[in-house]
């Protein structure tokens, strides 16, 4: 009776299905088609505007510590871990100034940065220099350089043809609520924050349906989404009334730099795909060769990068090692066919 042969085939089918489920893009529910006369979504105005924005001048003695953190390149999980460390290592600073210049990135990473900023003890100030596309409006005080831009925070995903497209209503609704609550927590207009996420939002005189809202420096100042204009960090310190501040430039260490590269969305997805492909080749050919080695290295880099940013624990690592051991056992069983059969 060769029961093991059929069991092995069934398990291969299960593994193939699991790989497809793990690597597939998640497609959320799409919005229904709207007619030409659809008026769009009109969010309620915020009740706390003009009352809860912290005043820019900081009451701190001369020579107080000011921490400067650069938010550049893609927003990914390595950057989120770096920002959290910079905040936790400087709890007594008078202010943490984020020098922002990014086109956005991962939604989960942006939310982690948002949470770290809201929990920070020091005053957090964003110096948008020159752009904060995506979730750049999630900070208490905002100072923008001349010609800066802020907004266009709708989440996107990769389409089958490689083109970027907006996700479905489920994710848009979540991000819309995140942006609104964060803006209102800092005394900003929640409806404007929503218009940066959802193209269906309509605000009379500001944005019409079908258009995502992006503000330049003057528009952001006029609408209360920014507090001041500055050309450089020295002017930012002057606006904050910080006299002779002790400036601490926080730089990512080598581990965080590697983690930033490994958790960058494109690199992370590529590593996972190559790793799963290598395991599938090893499983179907029942040999451990170059493809298996490349796949193993790709998965080690994938899990290692996520471990640095505390997204992988011992449980995931042990499951990964157990899977590798099972693949090796399956591959080496070819030379011992009798162990899979019963007489």
pLDDT, average across residues 71-95: 88
The answer for residues whose C-beta is within 8 angstroms of residue 124's C-beta and 6 or more apart is: 95, 96, 98, 117, 139, 140, 141
Q: Is the pLDDT of residue 255 over 70?
A: yes
What are the sequence ranges of the domains in the chain? Answer: 3-23+256-340, 65-252
Q: Which pLDDT does position 237 carry in this prediction? A: 92
Q: Give 71's DSSP letter.
A: E
What is the torsional sign of CA 156, 80, 118, 250?
A: negative
Q: Beta strands of 168-310 (E only): which ranges?
A: 214-216, 228-229, 246-250
Distances (CA, A) of 61 to 90, 124, 127: 17, 17, 22
Q: Which pLDDT does position 324 carry in this prediction? A: 66
**Residue (of 134, 141, 149) closest to 185 by Cα position:** 141
Phi/psi region, residue 134 (left: phi>0; alpha: psi -120 to 50; beta: rest), is left
**Residue (of 118, 119, 139) closest to 128 by Cα position:** 139
Q: Given 3.90.850.10, 3.90.550.50, 3.20.20.70, 3.90.226.10, which CATH number is that of 65-252?
A: 3.90.226.10
Distance CA 310, CA 305 (A): 9
Kindly report the average pLDDT of the chain as a whole number.
76
pLDDT, average across residues 5-11: 42
- What digits encode the pLDDT tens for the residues 308-317? 655 555 566 6
The better pLDDT of the pair 321, 72 is held by 72
The better pLDDT of the pair 290, 232 is held by 232
The better pLDDT of the pair 106, 201 is held by 201
Q: Which pLDDT does position 289 carry in this prediction? A: 75
Distances (CA, A) of 46 to 52, 143, 187, 222, 322: 11, 21, 9, 16, 52
CA R_g for the chain: 25
The answer for residues whose C-beta is within 8 angstroms of residue 118's C-beta and 6 or more apart is: 182, 185
Helix (H) or strand (E) holding 72: strand 65-72
Distance CA 174, CA 183 (A): 14
The torsion of the CA quartet 157, 159, 162, 163, rounded to 10 degrees, works out to -80
Would you call 209 helix, strand, or coil by DSSP? coil
- What digits encode the pLDDT tens for the residues 138-192? 556 789 999 888 888 777 766 565 566 667 778 888 888 888 888 887 778 888 9
Lowest pLDDT segment from 74-83, 137-146, 182-191, 212-221: 137-146
């Amino acid at each position: 009776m060769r029961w093991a042969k059929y069991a092995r085939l069934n398990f291969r089918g299960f593994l193939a299905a699991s790989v497809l489920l793990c690597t597939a893009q998640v497609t959320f529910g799409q919005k229904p088609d709207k007619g030409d006369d659809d008026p769009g979504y009109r969010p309620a105005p915020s009740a706390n505007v003009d009352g809860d924005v912290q005043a820019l001048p900081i009451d701190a003695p001369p020579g107080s510590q000011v921490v400067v953190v650069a938010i550049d390149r893609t927003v990914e999980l390595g950057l989120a871990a770096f920002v959290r460390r910079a905040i936790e290592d400087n709890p007594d600073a008078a202010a943490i100034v984020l020098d922002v210049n990014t086109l956005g990135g991962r939604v989960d990473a942006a939310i982690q940065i948002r949470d770290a900023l809201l929990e920070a003890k020091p005053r957090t100030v964003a110096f948008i220099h020159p752009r904060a596309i995506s979730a750049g409006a999630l900070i208490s005080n905002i100072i923008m350089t001349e010609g800066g831009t802020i907004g266009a925070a709708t989440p996107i995903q990769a389409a089958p043809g490689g083109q970027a497209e907006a996700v479905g209503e489920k994710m848009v609704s979540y991000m819309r609520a995140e942006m609104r609550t964060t803006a209102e927590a800092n005394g900003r207009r929640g409806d404007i924050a929503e218009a940066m996420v959802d193209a269906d939002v309509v605000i009379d005189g500001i944005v019409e349906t079908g258009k995502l809202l992006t503000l330049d420096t003057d528009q952001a100042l006029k609408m209360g989404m920014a507090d001041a204009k500055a050309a450089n960090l020295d002017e930012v310190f002057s606006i904050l009334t910080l006299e002779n501040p002790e400036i601490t430039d926080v730089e990512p260490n080598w581990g965080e730099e590697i983690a930033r590269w490994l958790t960058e969305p494109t690199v992370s997805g590529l590593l996972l795909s190559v790793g799963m492909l290598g395991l599938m080749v090893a499983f179907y050919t029942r040999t451990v060769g170059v493809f298996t080695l490349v796949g193993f290295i790709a998965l080690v880099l994938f899990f290692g990068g996520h471990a640095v940013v505390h997204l992988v624990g011992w449980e995931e690592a042990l499951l990964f090692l157990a899977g590798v051991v099972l693949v090796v056992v399956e591959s080496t069983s070819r030379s011992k066919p009798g162990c899979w059969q019963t007489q």
